[in-house]
Amino acid sequence: MRVVILGSGSGTNAEAILCAASAGQLAPAQVVAVYSDVQHAGILEKAAHYEVKNSHLSAPSRRASLHGESENLWIETIKKDAPDLIVLAGFMRILKGPFLQAFSDKIINIHPSLLPGFPGLEAIRQAFVRGVKITGCTIHWVNEVVDGGEIIAQAPVRVMPGDTYELLEQKIHGAEHVVLPSVIRDLAIGATPFPGE
C-alpha cells in the first residue's frame, strides 16, 4: 500500500507514521512521498530524516484551499506516486472537487477533536474554551464536507482539573501519534475496509 502524506506544519504525526513504518510496524504500507504547501515546514525535514521523498508544492498564498493551476500541480504530482492512500497530517487546506475526484475514497484526515464536536480550525482551543471534560482526536475519510466524512477511529482524552491549554494540546498529540499509525496499519492489512469494499 503506497502512502502519500500531506501536511503544513511541524509534522509530528508524519514522524509517528514514518517511525512506525521504518520499524516495520505498518507493513505492507510504505510511505512513498511527503508534500507540504509550506516551504520550510518541519514535516519536510521529518521526511528527509527518514529518507523519504519530500517536496514543497506551491499553493495560493492567501487561500485556505487549492485552486486551478496549483490544484492541477498537486494532482499531477501526487498521481505519479500512484498512491493507494493519502494521509492529511496537519494539512491546513480544504480539498475540493477535482482533487477529491482524482483520489476518490483514498484520503483520510486527522482532526484534533472528537468529531462531530469542534470541527474546523483551532479545534483544541475550541474544546478547551468550552470546558469539555473529554475531547480527543478523530481519523475520518475526506469528502466535500469539511471534517464531515465517515469516521474511522477516535481516541478520547480526558481534560483534568488544572490542565492548561498547552498540556491538553500535548495530550491530544500523544493520542494522535498512536491512533494514526494504527489506522494506517489496519487499512494496509485489510482490518479496516476502504469505502465501498
Q: For the CB of residue 1, give the shortest distance to ligand GAR in the complex, in Å.
A: 20
Q: For the CB of residue 89, give the shortest distance to ligand GAR in the complex, in Å.
A: 5
| Residue of the chain from 33, 86, 89, 184 that contacts ligand GAR (CB under 6 A) | 89
Ranges within 143-182 binding ligand GAR (CB under 6 A) = 173, 176
Backbone dihedral angles phi then psi of residue 12, each to the nearest 5 degrees = -70, -30
Residues designated as active site: 111
The enclosing H or E element of 17 equals: helix 12-22
Apex 113 CA angle, 124 and 186, nearest 5: 135
C-alpha cell at 182: 494504527
Stretch that binds ligand GAR, among 11-19, 54-62, 69-77, 183-191 (CB under 6 A): 11-19
Q: For the CB of residue 11, give the shortest distance to ligand GAR in the complex, in Å.
A: 5
Binding mask 30-59 for ligand GAR (x = CB under 6 A): -------------x----------------
Strand arrangement of the beta sheet that strand 151-158 belongs to? 54-56, 30-36, 2-7, 85-88, 107-111, 134-141, 151-158
Q: For the CB of residue 16, give the shortest distance to ligand GAR in the complex, in Å.
A: 8
Q: How much of the chain is in helix, strand and coil states, percent to nearest 5? A: 35, 20, 40
In the complex with ligand GAR, the residue whose CB is nearer, 9 or 148, is 9
Hey, how many other C-beta atoms are within 10 angstroms of the C-beta on 180? 23
| Residue of the chain from 93, 111, 171, 185 that contacts ligand GAR (CB under 6 A) | 111
CA dist., res. 7 & res. 44, Å (int): 9
CA 134 vs CA 66, 109, 125, 128, 176: distances in Å: 33, 21, 13, 10, 15
Contact flag: residue 13 with ligand GAR (CB under 6 A): yes
| Residue of the chain from 11, 83, 149, 181 that contacts ligand GAR (CB under 6 A) | 11
Q: Which residues bind ligand GAR (CB under 6 A)?
A: 7, 9-13, 43, 89-90, 110-112, 123, 173, 176
